[in-house]
Structure 1
Amino acid sequence: MYSRIIASTTNRQIFSLIAILAVVAVGIALTTQHVLGMQPCVWCVFQRLVCILIAFSALIGVIFTNRPMQAISALLVVGWSIVGVSAAVAQRQAVLAQDSCALSIADKVMTWTGLDVSIPAVFEPQATCVDAAADLFGVPYEIWTLLLFVFLGLLALVALFKPKPQSKYFY
Structure 2
Amino acid sequence: MFKFFYSYSQTRKAWLLLAISACMLEIIALYFQHGMGLRPCVLCIYERIAIFAILAAGLIATLAPKSAFRLVALILWLYSSWEGLKLTFEHTRLQLYPSPFDSCDFVVNFPSWLLLNRWLPTVFEAYGDCSQKQWSFLNIEMPVWLLIIFIAYFLVAIIVLLSQFLWFKKNSH
Q: TM-score, normalised by structure 1?
A: 0.80
Checking the alignment, whether the CA contact within 8 Å between 1:78 and 1:153 is kept in structure 2 is yes
Checking the alignment, whether the CA contact within 8 Å between 1:40 and 1:132 is kept in structure 2 is no
Show structure 1 runs of 4+ deviating over 6 A.
none
Deviations 1:65-120 (A, max 9, x none): 225321221121011100000010111122223242126xx832378732122211
How many residue pairs match? The answer is 160
Deviations 1:18-58 (A, max 9, x none): 11111111111110111111111110011111111111112
What secondary structure does 2:13 align onto? helix
Structure 1 CA distance, aligned partners of 2:7 and 2:75? 19
| Aligned equivalent of 1:102 | 105
Counterpart amino acid of residue 28 in structure 2: I
What percent of counterpart residues are identical?
Answer: 24
What root-mean-square deviation, in Å, do the aligned CA atoms of Structure 1 and Structure 2 show? 2.6
Structure 2 CA distance, aligned partners of 1:42 and 1:7? 35
Q: Provide structure 1 residue ranges, at least 5 long, that are not aligned to the other structure.
A: 165-171
Q: TM-score, normalised by structure 2?
A: 0.79
Taking a change above 3 Å as real, the CA distance of residues 93 and 7 of structure 1, as seen in their structure-2 partners, is closer
Taking a change above 3 Å as real, the CA distance of residues 9 and 125 of structure 1, as seen in their structure-2 partners, is same
Structure 2 CA distance, aligned partners of 1:28 and 1:109? 23
